[in-house]
Amino acid sequence: MTHPDDDPDVAQAREFLDMLTAHAARLETDMAMAGSPQQRAAWQSDLRQIRRFIDGLHRRFPDLAAE
């Protein structure tokens, strides 16, 4: 969701945050249905990385964390 008064960096961060959040939600759903422990472990690793990216965006753009 783009805000008309956004700085381009903030707008890009917001879009990236939205994509990361959606991807994390899909991974959480997939993990709940994963059959193999190896697949679950791989998705858990991916999810940890995505959460690190999200945390980094929140640190760099604190206003995004409040939305």
As a whole number of angstroms, the longest Cα–Cα distance in the chain is 47
Give the distance from CA 23 to its chain's centroid: 6
Q: Which amino acid is at 50?
A: I
Give the distance from CA 11 to its chain's centroid: 15
The tens-digit pLDDT sequence of the chain (67 residues) is 556 567 999 999 999 999 999 999 999 998 888 778 898 899 999 999 999 999 999 999 998 887 7
Question: What is each CA distance from 54 to 16, 21, 22, 26, 33, in whole angstroms?
Answer: 9, 8, 11, 15, 24
